[in-house]
Structure 1
Amino acid sequence: MMGQTGKLWLSMEGNKRIAWLEKLGIPRINDLLSASPDDCVMLVGKQGERERAIQELTGEHQELQEKGRHNTPWILNIQSDQISSLPAAEIERRLRREGLSAKIGAFDLNSKRITVTIWGLEAVEMRSSYLNSSRFNQLKFGADLSDRAILTKDHVIWRPAERMSIRALYVLGLDFGQVDLLFSNQGKLIVIGISSRLTNIGNIGKQHLREVITAFATAWREEITNGVQATLGADPEFVLLSTEGRIVPASRYFSPEGAAGCDSVRIRGERRWPLVELRPRPSSNPADVTADIQRLLRVASQRTAGVPLKWQAGASPVPGLPLGGHVHLSGMILTGERLRALDNAVALPLRVLEPLKAAKRRPRYGSLGDVRRQPHGGFEYRTPPSWLVSPRLALGAFALAKVAAEHSRELAFDRPLDEECYRDAFYEGDRTLLLEAAERMYVAISRTAGYVVYREPIDFVFDAIKRNRSWDESADIRVKWRIPIY
C-alpha cells in the first residue's frame, strides 16, 4: 500500500462482510496503520479492535505536527461510536443549538416518515412511508407493505429534507449515515432519528451511492496528487439608510442583475429588495477580489450620487435584517473536512470580532457549516456575515478562506469547533472560550504553507482579536473603503 497515497479504503468491523458494500468497488483495508498519510478510510461498524489503531494514528498526528509535518488518513465517521452512545436528549440539544428541529424517537401516525441516506454532504436516497400503514386506499395491509416509496430529486421535499439531513450529520461530526425525518401535516420537518450506518438501501440508492463514492475517490486522488488552487468569489451585502435611519430600498438604484445589484428578502411573506449585493470577478488572488469589490463600491457610489445615504455592513447593522458575506469557492471538491476547515479558519475568527448584538442572528443565520452547491461546480460558504466593514477585514476573510480551502488536510490536526465546549461558545458567546479557540486556530493556520503567502492579512485579523477589537456596524463603510461621501 505504500506509495499509493490518495486512495479511498473500506474498513469493516472485525471479519464481518457486507456484500453490497464490498460491491461498491472500494478496496478493503485490514490494518488502519498501513494506510498512507493522505488516504481516506470509510469506517463501517463499531470501532472495536480498530480503536487502538485509531488512537495511535491520532497520537502520531500530534507528534508529526509538533515536528512540522503532516498528515494522517482522513477517517470517515470517526465519531460514530461516540455519537451512538449519546442519550437522545443530548442529540436533540446539539441539533436544536444549530437551528434544527429535533425530537428523537418521536412517533406520529398522521405524519409521513422520510429516511434520507447521506454520503459526503449529498443525499443518495430518500424514502418515505406513512407510519400508519395499516390501511391504504381503504384496503388493509401489513405494516411492512403498502405505500413505502422512493422520492426523486424533483420532488418538492427533496431539497429541504436533504439540507436538514446533511446538517444533522455534520453537526454531530459524522460523514455519512441515515437520518429519519417526520414531515408533519403542517409542512414541518423534524429530525427523529440518526444512524451512522447504511442499511435498507434500495438498488437505485446503491447505484447512486456507488457513483458518488467513485466520483469522490477520483477527485480526492487528483487533489492529493496535484494539490488545490482555490478560485474565490463573493456576494457581500450592505444596506442603505436615510438620514432618519430608515432602510432605503436598494431597488431604487440597483437592478437584481449585474455586478452591483440588489438582493431580496421576505418580510411577512412579501418579497422586498432592501439589500445592495456586490458580485466581484472571481480570482485565485484574494487581493484581486478585494480590489474588484472596491471598484464595485465606486460603481454603487455613482448610482447613488447626490442622495444623502449611509452605507452599513456587518452581521446585523439594522435589527431584523441580517447581512451575509458569502464566499464562493471553486477548483476543489466540497467535503466535510474542507467545510470544517472553513468553519474554524473563517467563521471562528470573524465570530470573535463581531459586536455582541450580532449573535442574535444565529442560529437562523450564520450557523456553522452553512453551504450551498453552485451550478457552475463550486460552492458558496454562507456562514460569514458581511465583512464589508473594511477592506482589510475583507482581504483577511478571503485569505483565510483560501488557506482553509487549500490546506484543509493540514488544518484537520486541530479544529477547536469539533469540540462541544467551543461549539457551544460559538453560539452562546463565551468570549473566554472563543479566544482560546481562536488562538489555537491561529497556531494551526501559521503552520500551513498558505500562511507564508498571506501572513499580513491573516495577522491583521488575529491581531485585532488579541487587541479585543470588534467592528463598528454603525459606521459608514465608505470611509474605510475611501469612497467619496456625497
Structure 2
Amino acid sequence: MNLENEINSFHRRINYKLVQQPIMSLENHLIKVSRNFANRRTMLKVRAFHYTILSAKRSDFNSPLLTKSKPIWEETDQKSFYYEQELKDFALHCLYLTNTPLGECIVQRCSKKGVQVVQLQSLTVEQLTYSEQEYLAAYIRNSHKDDQVTFGADLELMLRNNKTFKFMNGHLLKNMQFGYDDAIAIHKNRVAHPIFEIRPKPASKIEDLHNHLMILFQKFKRQTQIFDLQIITDPNPFGRFFLGGHIHFGNTPFTFQHVRLLDQYVAIPYALADKNPSFERRTSYGMLGAVRKNQYNGFEYRVLPTWFHIIPSCLPLLLWIEYLITNAHHIETLELNRASVTSYYNKDHQNYQLDQWEKDNKKKFAEKKGERLFEPFVSYLKKL
C-alpha cells in the first residue's frame, strides 16, 4: 500500500471527513492572518500530519539590509529556542482549525505577546521530503495499537484567606494529587504560585475517575473549612490568571477528529450553558481546539474552564465525554456552526442558544447508547 492510500485508510478508520477551510476562516477564532512579514522577525515553518510534526524550520534572511530578501530555512532540532514550542503549538492549532490534516503552516511573532499566521497550505505526499514521508509512514503504521483508553484530569482553582483576603501560595502543597500551576505572581520580591491543581488518579472507567475526584473534592473542602479559606473557581479571577478544567486521555489517537468531537459536542454546548463565562479566557487559554500532547500516549483537552465546583454533579458530563472519545470512529464531525463560534468568543453576539444547539444535534445521536447519554448531558447543562 502506498503512502497516500495509507493516509486515506487512516482517515476512514477514524471517520475524518472534514473539508479544508480557507486561511481567512482563522479570523473567526480571532487569529491574526497577515501576508506581510512583521519587521523581519523570525518565522517558523511547521509541516504536520494532524498533531504529529513532520518537520519544523526556523527562518533566517540572506541579507540584513534588503527587506525583500527571501528567508533561508534551517532545521530547529539542533538549536531550539524556548519560544519555539509555543509557535509550533500555534501552527498545529491553525492547521486544526482550518481542517488541514496534512499541511504546512508558517507563523511569526508580531509583537511581544502576539503571533500571526503568514501562510497555510495543504500538502500532497509528493510535496513531502523523503524523511517526512518515512516519518509519516511510521506514525500511521504504529497508530493501530488498541490499548485500554484511560481518563484523567487536572482542575485549577485559587484559595483566599477569609481573614487576610490574601491568596494562598500553591507551593505549600506538594504531593501527587495536589499541586500548583506554573503561573507565578511576584509581590515584594517574593514569587508565589496562586493557582492550585487537583490531580486525581487516572482511571480506565470514567465512573472511577469521578469517584477519585469526589474523594479529593471532599478532602479539599474539609481542609478549606478548617483553615477558613474561600475556594475561587471563577475562570478569570483577576488580571492574567485563568482557571481551566483540563481532561486527559491516555492511549487515545491524537487526531483532529477526536478534538473536533470535544469542541463540537462538549465545549460549545458547555459554553452556551455557562452562567459565569470568561470571554478573556476563551480568547486565550480556552480557545476551541486548545490541546496538548501528554505522556500517556494521548492528549490533554484544555478548552473547558475549571469545573471543580460542580464535581459532585458532573457525572453526566464525564459519561458523555467518555462516549465521544470511545466512539470517535463512528460519530460524524461537521464544520463548526458559524453562529456558535461567534457566540463562543464574542459576548456581544449571543444569538445562539443551548435549546437551538440541542435541536440541531439531537438526531445525530439516534443510536441507543448515544441517545441514552445525550438527554442527561443536555439536562445537566441546563441546570448549571
After superposition, the CA RMSD in angstroms is 3.6
1:102 corresponds to which letter in structure 2?
A: V
What does residue 214 of structure 1 align with?
138
Deviates more, 1:178-187 or 1:270-279: 178-187
Amino acid at match of 1:286: I
Identical positions, percent: 16
Equivalent position of 1:424 in the other structure: 342
Q: Which amino acid aligns with 1:79?
A: V
SS of 1:283's equivalent? coil
Q: Distance in 2 between matches of 1:209 and 1:318?
A: 47
Tell me, yes or no, if the aligned pair for 1:264 and 1:272 is still in contact at 8 Å. no
Equivalent residue for 2:378? 462
Tell me whether 1:409 sits opposite 2:329 in the alignment.
Answer: yes
Q: 1:253 to 1:301 in 2, by over 3 A?
A: farther
**Which residue in 1 is equivalent to 2:56?**
126
Deviations 1:72-117 (A, max 9, x none): 9534xx523x52xx7xxx446235x2xx3432x1135632333221
Checking the alignment, whether the CA contact within 8 Å between 1:181 and 1:189 is kept in structure 2 is yes
Residues 153/237 of structure 1: CA separation in 2 closer, same or farther (3 Å cut): farther
Letter in 2 for 1:164: F
Q: 1:150-175: per-residue Cα shift (whole Å, max 9, x none)?
A: 22176125412211111111112221
Whether the 8 Å contact between 2:171 and 2:192 is mirrored in structure 1 is: no
Aligned residues: 378
Match of 1:13 in 2: none
1:193 paired residue number:
119
Contact kept in structure 1, 2:158 and 2:194, CA below 8 Å: yes
- Residue pair 1:345, 1:445 contacting (<8 A) in 2 also: no
User: Post-superposition shift, 1:351?
Assistant: 0.9
Match of 1:480 in 2: none
| Unmatched segments (≥5 aa) in structure 2 | none
Greater length-normalized contact order (CA 8 Å, ≥ 6 residues apart): 2
Q: TM-score, normalised by structure 2?
A: 0.83
What residue in structure 1 maps to residue 176 of structure 2?
258
Map of 1:113 onto structure 2: 43
* C-alpha displacement of 1:232: 0.8
TM-score (norm: length of structure 1): 0.67
Partner residue, 1:344 = 264
Measure how far apart 1:254 and its partner are.
1.9
Tell me, yes or no, if structure 1 residue 79 matches structure 2 residue 19. Answer: yes
**CA–CA distance in 2 between the matches of 1:399 and 1:154?**
44
1:148 and 2:148 matched: no
Q: 1:94 to 1:248 in 2, by over 3 A?
A: same
Distance 1:428 1:438, change over 3 A: farther
Counterparts in 2 of 1:317-356, with a 5 A limit? 320-356=240-276
Unaligned ranges ≥5, structure 1: 1-8, 10-21, 30-34, 43-70, 471-486
CA contact (8 A) 2:161 2:228 kept: yes
Mapping 1:233-312, distance limit 5 Å: 233-243=152-162, 246-251=165-170, 254-255=173-174, 257-267=175-185, 271-301=191-221, 303-304=223-224, 306-312=226-232
Mark the CA change 1:331 to 1:186 in structure 2 (over 3 Å): closer, same or farther.
closer
Partner of 2:306: 386
| Distance in 1 of aligned mates of 2:253 and 2:58 | 30
CA distance in 2, matches of 1:279, 1:126: 33
State which structure, 1 or 2, has the greater radius of gyration over its C-alpha atoms. Answer: 1
Distance 1:28 1:248, change over 3 A: closer
